[in-house]
Structure 1
């Protein structure tokens, strides 16, 4: 299809508009949320964490880093640890991407890679969305109905983001006034069929209050700092170079275009396109 000049192929993993919109819109929106919650000025934003996915959402973290001084943590499935270990594999955290480094991921500005288990996401999906799980959270953990309803809205990749935030907080030994920002990128309604599948796979088809307690203990209280990497120059270079095989060798991106992404001036220059796009949209709408 790409060979036909009549076709325009949009690839979310290499479409810089994806990056630009998240940096120009999602990032400032999260900054406003942070500032709204910090009316007493006693909270300290420390990081933005999100799954790699197409790489677009991570651009919100670049705005926050420049505005608030926060770190950027990149989450990936432990079962497919491409960024962590140059690894591969299969996982069930749907929608978070795997097996390659997106072209629009500004690797040289990322600070952490955080591995999150798909089994943990499956287990917490059961905990948040089954009667036994909710009874345990209410009766034994004092979770109120409002928070319970919010937890039930989290899909698999949203749960991964929350777990990544917990792991970052524990790695950095954060306190109660420190804030880790993330996003809920999907809803639990998308995964109703996954509940029985996960119960069969991980719990022999039976998820009761005992297994709910085990799940909470293992994946929430027991969330540790394993399978995390704090990125320095050489770790960033390793991940950046890994993208060469996808984008230059396979997709035909010119090497010069691939390499210019090392420099932060390339990324910092992209938001300048936003007012130009606005003008083009205004002209189109006025025509």
Structure 2
């Protein structure tokens, strides 16, 4: 028996390590059904598609198909699903994730339209578009980058995408190329920065998350910073309370290499009260057991 994490984990633009769970569970629902896998000896109908003979199929306890590989091209609700596409299904039989064979246009929950390219697609159990590769520019701001992945909430609001223009929201200015995520009301809730940006008065890099009030919730520093009387090095990971006070920090305190090249590091974990006083502190030591190739004989 398998649990349906065996499926397509969509490559959403915001699916960085800190947001991978959101990418799978929020942009498309997590499937917790118990699945039995078997190899098909003949073609099998599965909702709107036909599952390919000789490929694996996953079925739940009620014999409903959870995933399979499509046998041929088929058009479903105006979307041309490719042949040999690994496809997941919702419990009601509708397509959950697959690969499209032709570009298509879709009307979203808010009445706006989006043009999608030939790549991965994700839909909710009512057929609403949740994820695709953007094929044409959209009106309004913020503007998602054409040719990159874009995610939507069921109501049509943008959920995640790569910015094709500089964007300012809640006093936060983000550069073009930053990946951002929004809630279903259109509020900025976080993102991923490939280039450093000033957010909440701090120079940040990589993942950041915001509280509903717009204050930083989690962040990673691109430059050294002093916060509530404490000095933190570049790449320190910080957690803040909803009132903006520092709650926790994680950073590499020392690092180096052993005589034969094995990497080691000491990472400090600290928690703080609202006034900035240290509550707890500990250090975790890491040492690799593998030598770099140039040290191997």
Fold shared per TM-score above 0.5: no
Higher relative contact order (CA 8 A, sep 6+): 1
TM-score when normalising by structure 1: 0.24
Structure (1 or 2) with the greater helix fraction: 1
Structure (1 or 2) with the greater strand fraction: 2
Greater gyration radius: 2
TM-score when normalising by structure 2: 0.23
